[in-house]
Amino acid sequence: MTDATLMRLDESFSQWDALLDLIVASFAYMNDLIDPPSSALALTPQSLKQKAEVEIGYVALEGEAMIGCIFCRPEDQCLYIGKLAVLPVAQGRGIGKQMLTLAEEMARERSLPELRLETRIELTGNHAVFTTWGFRKTAENSHPGFDRTTSIEMRKTLASAPAARGLAADDRR
């Protein structure tokens, strides 16, 4: 397992073209597998910048190299995870899990009890990985114009912090 440096996307970030390249490269394997095509293909550097202004975005860095990203959006009872991407050469090293751990921290800070994500129905390998990370399938959805399931929703219920369960500080050992 490799720990990457996670950097918040803020007004000082300027590598929007490189971030777009990372997302497109990370999602490229699914181009011939899913229908309709990934929304990643419609992204532009400008739309990514706008996304980072309204969502909570991070990039994962290994040295100076950008190897992953995650975008999170607080919803009513959960933190939505979108555009979780890790470059193929960096996959399998715990980077995705590291970014989801950060998302769990963000959810807890906002008193949100769950993480939520969507993944395409065809991407069974992703379903399996998310299941090992504690997610469970909670819904099946169809994109507009489709009469079949095209994606599934998965959620992960977060364990409460000891203080939130009413335990005294001495009981947390």
pLDDT in tens, the chain (173 residues): 668 999 999 999 999 999 999 999 999 999 999 989 898 989 999 999 999 999 999 999 999 999 999 999 999 999 999 999 999 999 999 999 999 999 999 999 999 999 999 999 999 999 999 999 999 999 999 999 999 999 999 999 998 754 443 433 333 33
Q: Is residue 165 assigned to a domain? A: no
Residue 88 domain-assigned (yes or no): yes
DSSP state, residue 99? H
Q: Considering the domain boundaries, does residue 77 fall inside one?
A: yes
Angle between helices 16-27 and 45-54 (to 10 degrees): 100
Residue 71 falls inside a structural domain: yes
* Residue 134 domain-assigned (yes or no): no
Q: What angle do CA 112, 91, 11 make, to 5 degrees?
A: 55
Q: pTM of the prediction? A: 0.88
Residue 79 lies in a domain: yes
Q: What is the CA radius of gyration of the chain?
A: 17
Q: How many domains does the chain have?
A: 1
Establish if 173 belongs to a structural domain.
Answer: no
Q: b or e along 31-41 (b: 16 or more beta carbons within 10 Å of the residue's beta carbon)?
A: eeebeeebebe
* Domain region containing 52: 5-117
Q: Domain for residue 18, yes or no?
A: yes
> What CATH number corresponds to the domain at position 15?
3.40.630.30
